[in-house]
Chains A and B, each alone.
Chain A
């Protein structure tokens, strides 16, 4: 049985752009996650039901998991804007991940509704709805199934170019596409993928990935209210496992702003979403060996905050990027190239990429495929000792 790891304390509060949140009162809450067990088997990734129950029942007051934080954000989005709509496959009864629980009851079936099982239809419908001045919040049930919408050009050729091609006469900026992404311990090929890099190649959309419940809520509200179409990938592994205190009120977190979530001086680590907790553990291990790691949550992948990463690498002289998606053509390659361009003379070692393998996402072999803590730890050491 795997013990729950306490996610080291992230200072979210300093980044809140909320009008009413008192940042000091939110300081220092922690996130619990079980992911990233080094060299573990599949079972080590997953919590037992009992553990989950303990986790959830043990939470007090404002302590909620990631899907509940998403749910709160959606409630606020629908409540604060009568022109907001939530739709997708199975959202009416609460969604397969429970993110839309209670929305249809509260806001009615005309604003929260099931759609036919057709991703290109969902996104196309959402573009049209958004283009008429609405907030269209579309759910794609799994990021693995977003490709029909991509392929049929709704995201790449349509949503992304809607404003540009019309000379700003029309836009579908009210569109937000939510999709659970990433490994979950038992998802195999089609319930595990991290397709963010495909979307990062498309000017005109934003790509955002949160790392924990409070970030998920604040970032999602920003995405929904952003005047550009956004693809919001939710780390499904953390839906239930990541639990922390989340402010109940309406707040937004800035897009295109990366955050240094752990300060250090020897090497910079950049990641996003669920992978950050694995990277955090590697940082802790490295620290024991006297290596000081700086960890950055990129949060928005497109358009991304080069300046924060650049400043950090100029300080540390080393860079490691880690993501679950396959290494070749992954977004880590883009970060690597950009930082080499900007920090070439400051770099003391090649940029390291610890990512998924260039295979389809496997089932039995998932623990081998994953960019685990020890793979990252090794890369940290070899980069620092280069």
Chain B
């Protein structure tokens, strides 16, 4: 079985070069070296699993010697980065593969399970045998050593996933309206990206640590953060765990292993690697999951994080919500690669592209990624293709830079919630009565939560000065005293709802 995995991997690694354009020569002749290389390496040498299961290239004298012993014809360069074969052919690697990386999906647009849809995992390793697909799923190992699954998410899980998606959608609608009414200062919706939010969360355990960006409140919702807690944060009242210090939607909950959101793009990514390294060193049966967008992949922190994660062999899952737009910048002006997924391999990270609007595809990819991250102690990159149906935030009007038709298309035809509902409906687990009851209840709860949150007083003035350091230094004590004196003289200058 081990050599099977090796063969699969090596084919994968080396066959990618078959698609390269030959810049110097129009002939499509294969480099003869490849054939000779694969033969002895796999079937004769039983090369080290390190190279096979994870491309960690190491330069050792013995490795070089080993290769030479296997096949005297092999000409290779042994340098500090490992052994590299020579070629007489001047050939530049193409800037793109001939075909785009396909997008894995399980449900079609109508919410029907695609026949023969399977979990194809070409990097399958022995540790994953039969383990990928445990929760309500059946698995079989296909004839060619690839793991395939037929998804059978059970009723309870499916209904919970669907209900939470609807709750997220409703929360977005109500809070957005509340912002428009001036009841909260700012809001940012996840509309169109409900499946990524909820399905990825459902595929994890509560012990997995989340470092989110700002468009993943669904993960927190799935973990049990209440609508009242969301409302408290958006209202910035004294029950907000962040003590009213950050703008709305910057949630965080220690209890739910969800680090507090910060606005700067991609800064959470290298932090996620450090957190994952901690889990690794503690031998925890958990991983770190961090989210970001297509725009975030242009930040230096993204590249730093992927490189660090690969080198440190950290159990971290990078989930990119490629929603097509970074505020007004389309992906065509963001990068020239085939999206984000192809960047993983350059860093030595296993990667998959999924249909982010297919709840079951996101679920199963995240589930498999988690298994690999923990059992093999490695990072995994998931690129979920989706669409930001809402504006970037309440400060944005996206119709100024993108066609309304495009938005409508994704809102209606590619709606991830509607698509998942069709599948849940098809299983006989949901009906119109359930739907209207759920939406009515959630709406009621939300309106109540906002009303309650509005009545809770603001955090006290002293919270302005605490937590800058663990203990408040003298300069802050002095500044607080001065400020209080000023407030006494000019109370009209300050908000009356902040308790002194």
Q: Residues of A with Cβ closer than 8 Å to B?
A: 110-111, 113, 115-116, 118, 120-121, 123-134, 136, 148, 152-154, 157-158, 161-171, 173, 203-204, 206, 227-228, 256, 303, 306-307
Contacts and interface: CB of A to CB of B under 8 A. Distances in A.
Contact of A124 (B245, B250, B271): B271
Contact of A132 (B264, B279, B467): B279
Given A120-B301, A153-B264, 7 more contacts: A116-B308, A128-B272, A131-B274, A152-B267, A158-B271, A167-B243, A204-B469
B274 A132 contact: yes
A152 B299 contact: yes
Q: Which 6 A-B pairs have the closest CB atoms?
A: A128-B274, A124-B270, A121-B304, A128-B271, A132-B278, A166-B260
A167 B269 contact: no
B158 interface: no
Given A115-B308, A124-B271, A169-B254, A157 B278 contact: no
A170 B254 contact: yes
A169 B241 contact: yes
Given A170-B254, A203-B468, A152 B301 contact: yes
B475 interface: yes
A125 B250 contact: no
Interface residues on B, range: 35 or more
Interface in B288-347: 288, 299-301, 304-305, 307-308, 311-312
Contacts of B308: 115-116, 118, 121, 124-125
Contact of A228 (B241, B273, B470): B470
Contacts of A136: 274
Contact of B475 (A164, A228, A306): A306
Contacts of A133: 278
Residue of B246, B274, B279 ringed by the most chain A CB atoms within 10 A: B274
Contact of B240 (A162, A163, A167, A228): A167
B404 interface: no
A116 B243 CA distance: 37
Contact of A131 (B275, B299, B468): B275
B259 A170 contact: yes
A131 B300 contact: no
Contact of B474 (A115, A118, A206, A303): A303
B218 interface: no
A129 B278 contact: yes
B379 interface: no
Contacts of B473: 256, 303
A53 to B, nearest CB: 33
A129 B274 contact: yes
B242 interface: yes
Contact of B273 (A124, A152, A169): A124
A152 B274 CA distance: 16
Nearest to A123: B270
8 contacts: A115-B308, A118-B304, A120-B304, A154-B267, A163-B469, A165-B250, A165-B252, A167-B241
B222 to A, nearest CB: 19
Nearest to B244: A167
B278 A164 contact: no
Interface of B: 209, 211, 240-243, 245-246, 250, 252-254, 259-260, 262, 264, 267, 269-279, 281, 288, 299-301, 304-305, 307-308, 311-312, 463, 466-470, 473-475
Nearest to A115: B308
B120 to A, nearest CB: 31
Nearest to A172: B271
B470 A125 contact: no
Contact of A168 (B281, B304, B466): B466
A148 B260 contact: no
Nearest to B282: A132
B301 A125 contact: no
B246 A303 contact: no
Given A152-B300, A165-B250, A169-B254, A131 B466 contact: no
B241 to A, nearest CB: 5
Contacts of B275: 128-129, 131-132
Given A133-B278, A153-B264, A157-B262, A204 B468 contact: yes
A129 B240 CA distance: 26
A165 B299 CA distance: 22
A306 B479 CA distance: 14
Contacts of B269: 124
Nearest to A300: B473
A131 B259 contact: yes
A228 B476 CA distance: 16
A305 B182 CA distance: 45
Contacts of B276: 128
A128 B264 contact: no
Contacts of B474: 303, 306-307
B16 to A, nearest CB: 24
B212 to A, nearest CB: 13
Contacts of B299: 152
A126 B308 CA distance: 11
Nearest to A134: B278
B10 to A, nearest CB: 26
Nearest to B473: A303
Nearest to A148: B300
A130 B274 CA distance: 8
Contacts of A165: 242, 245-246, 250, 252, 260, 262
Contacts of B250: 165
Contacts of A161: 262
Given A166-B260, A203-B468, A303-B475, A125 B273 contact: yes
Nearest to B290: A128
Contacts of A125: 270-271, 273-274, 277, 308, 312
A168 to B, nearest CB: 5
A165 B259 CA distance: 10
Contacts of B273: 121, 124-125, 128
A162 B252 CA distance: 11
Contacts of B300: 120, 148, 152
Contacts of B254: 166, 169-170
A228 B473 CA distance: 12
Contacts of A167: 240-243, 245, 252, 260, 463, 467
